[in-house]
């Protein structure tokens, strides 16, 4: 049991070190490609394929 | 219950006599050493030092108990040959309940007496001590120190001899009582038995039934141990201690990593600007920020947004766009803050500020596209501020690591703690126990 825990603990700390060094995050984002020029030219016209108008929680 | 051996005395031999009470044959194996003998036939206790076996107590016991190790059995223990010559049952009464254990008297003409005790399948090999342990009663729980070990007080009880058979090195009578104080440091137990102003100390060593069965060549299997005995070694203690040491080490390393991370993280603000979301002109609410530079290795980026919403809400759709490559990361946030009063007093809910961490963002030149949306219909506008920070430590990961390290450690310690809980539940220190009979001589 002690050996298993030692391996587990070392793995947790190693994973933490990698996560911190590599900048991992638990936030999910939608990654994609877009045209920066067209967005700059008309920010209001830009609509991401993931954006659905009206999906907000609309307050309390 | 003390005896002394004189090396000048001749080696005793078994002698055959007859009981003056019932006439049954009595064989004395410890001739010269025994002080009393209990007749196996009529249970009368006789004076073994008297040539005529004077009756000390006639028909002393109404019950008969068959020893698990028959009297007369011989065995080898720690390189010496021992004969089982006596057997007694001892009973204590705790809160109206009788608890009985049995004791076997073993004799070796060169080494004296050795005792075996058995309680619900738990066996101890007991030897009398020639030195007196040091008892310290200054703490909440008295302790006894002997041979560089510290024994915690376990129980104090008045014990009565309720059955006897065979020879004993003291003048035994059924019904005799002693005050027994037990101190434990598994696998050992120290017992101080006080009777008529005399205190006798002994030390028992927890021993497996299998060892004793083999030593005394007993063919009938002893009963399996039931419950946890006072000085029974905790089988989970070693793994628990080992895990305990490991978890302390890991937590120290975790703390070191946190300090190192806080000291070395750039945590640099690369963009900060305030904006106004005018709901009257919502078609032009979306905007792009000026470009900012993210430098260094791929690392975390925090986007923090705050707004002066009050009984209002606002939704933001963000896109972090790399100006050179066009790579974009979209995410959203909603801020809502409501407050008021009701019959319970004032209340509030929600938050005016939130942040999001974007994982492993490569270096480059970036800008944000921000599209605010929504809100209460009667509100005209919202002022909001966006702050972008490069290379921020994530304390959430440290919290996760802390849980990942401590929860399994706690799970590993539970069996050991449960075992100790069951041990001490039988003591004077059980949580529900009201006994306070722990005075020391």
Instruction: For residue range B183-211, list pLDDT tens digits in order.
Output: 999 999 999 999 888 899 999 999 999 99
Averaged pLDDT for residues B129-145: 93
The enclosing H or E element of B26 equals strand B25-28
Contacts of A44 in chain B (CB under 8 A): 283-286, 371
Contacts of A38 in chain B (CB under 8 A): none
CB atoms A5 and B409 under 8 Å: yes
**Would you place residue A47 in the very low, low, confident or very high pLDDT band (cuts 50, 70, 90)?**
low
Contacts of A60 in chain B (CB under 8 A): 313, 336, 338, 349-350
Question: Does the pLDDT of residue B433 top 50, yes or no?
Answer: no
**Would you place residue B51 in the very low, low, confident or very high pLDDT band (cuts 50, 70, 90)?**
confident
pLDDT score at B12: 44
Beta bridge partner(s), residue B193: B180, B200
* Probe site for chain A from B394, B399, B406, B409 (most A CB atoms < 10 A): B394
**Would you place residue B50 in the very low, low, confident or very high pLDDT band (cuts 50, 70, 90)?**
confident
Least confident of A34-38, B84-88, B164-168: A34-38
The enclosing H or E element of B323 equals none
Contacts of A2 in chain B (CB under 8 A): 238-239, 242-243, 246, 412
Question: Does the pLDDT of residue B18 top 90, yes or no?
Answer: no
Question: Does the pLDDT of residue B409 top 60, yes or no?
Answer: yes
Question: Does the pLDDT of residue B102 top 70, yes or no?
Answer: yes
CB atoms A1 and B239 under 8 Å: yes
Taking the C-alpha atoms of residue B337 and residue B317, their distance in angstroms, rounded to an integer, is 18
Please give the model's pTM, rounded to 2 decimal places. 0.70
**Would you place residue A56 in the very low, low, confident or very high pLDDT band (cuts 50, 70, 90)?**
low
Q: Which two tokens stand for residue B330?
A: 């979209």
pLDDT score at B215: 95
For chain B, give the percent of residues with pLDDT over 70: 93
Interface residue B292 vs chain A (CB under 8 A): no
pLDDT score at A55: 54
Enumerate residues 6+ apart whose C-beta is below 8 A from B365.
B291, B292, B293, B294, B322, B323, B324
Averaged pLDDT for residues B386-397: 93
Averaged pLDDT for residues B116-134: 95
CB B257, CB B351: distance < 8 Å: no
Helix (H, G, I), strand (E, B) or coil at B277: strand
pLDDT score at B7: 46
């Amino acid at each position: 049991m002690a050996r298993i825990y030692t391996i587990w603990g070392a793995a947790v700390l190693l994973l933490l070190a990698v996560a911190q060094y590599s900048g991992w995050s638990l936030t999910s984002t939608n990654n994609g490609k877009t045209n920066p020029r067209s967005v700059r030219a008309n920010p209001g016209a830009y609509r991401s394929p993931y954006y659905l108008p009206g999906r907000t929680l609309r307050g309390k | 219950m003390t005896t002394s051996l004189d090396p000048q005395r001749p080696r005793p031999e078994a002698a055959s006599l007859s009981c003056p009470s019932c006439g049954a044959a009595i064989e004395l194996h410890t001739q010269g050493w025994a002080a009393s003998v209990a007749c196996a036939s009529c249970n009368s206790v006789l004076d073994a030092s008297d040539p005529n076996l004077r009756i000390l107590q006639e028909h002393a016991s109404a019950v008969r108990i068959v020893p698990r190790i028959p009297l007369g059995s011989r065995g080898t223990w720690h390189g010496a040959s021992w004969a089982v010559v006596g057997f007694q049952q001892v009973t204590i009464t705790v809160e109206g309940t009788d608890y009985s254990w049995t004791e076997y008297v073993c004799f070796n003409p060169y080494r004296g007496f050795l005792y075996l005790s058995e309680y619900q399948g738990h066996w101890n090999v007991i030897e009398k001590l020639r030195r007196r342990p040091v008892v310290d009663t200054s703490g909440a729980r008295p302790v006894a120190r002997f041979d560089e070990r510290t024994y915690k007080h376990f129980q104090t009880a008045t014990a009565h001899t309720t059955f006897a058979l065979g020879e004993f090195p003291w003048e035994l009578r059924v019904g005799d009582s002693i005050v027994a104080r037990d101190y434990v440091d598994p696998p050992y137990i120290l017992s101080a038995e006080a009777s008529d102003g005399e205190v006798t100390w002994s030390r028992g060593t927890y021993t497996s039934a299998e060892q004793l069965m083999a030593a005394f060549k007993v063919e009938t299997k002893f009963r399996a141990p039931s419950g946890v005995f006072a000085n029974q070694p905790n089988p989970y203690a070693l793994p628990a201690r080992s895990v305990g040491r490991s978890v302390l080490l890991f937590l120290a390393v975790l703390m070191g990593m946190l300090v190192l991370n806080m000291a070395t993280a750039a945590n640099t603000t690369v963009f900060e600007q305030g904006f106004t979301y005018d709901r009257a002109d919502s078609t032009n609410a979306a905007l792009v920020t000026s470009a900012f530079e993210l430098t260094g290795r791929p690392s975390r980026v925090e986007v923090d947004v705050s707004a002066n919403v009050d009984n209002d809400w606002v939704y933001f759709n963000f896109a972090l766009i790399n100006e050179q490559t066009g790579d974009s990361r979209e995410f959203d946030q909603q801020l809502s803050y409501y407050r008021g009063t009701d019959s319970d007093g004032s209340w509030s809910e929600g938050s005016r500020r939130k942040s999001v961490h974007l994982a492993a963002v490569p270096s480059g030149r970036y800008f944000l596209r921000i599209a605010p949306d929504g809100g209460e219909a009667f509100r005209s506008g919202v002022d909001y501020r966006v702050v972008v920070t490069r290379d921020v430590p994530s304390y959430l990961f440290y919290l996760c690591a802390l849980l990942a390290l401590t929860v399994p450690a706690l799970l590993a310690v539970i069996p050991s703690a449960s075992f100790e809980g069951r041990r001490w539940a039988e003591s004077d220190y059980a949580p529900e126990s009201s006994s306070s009979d722990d005075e020391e001589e």
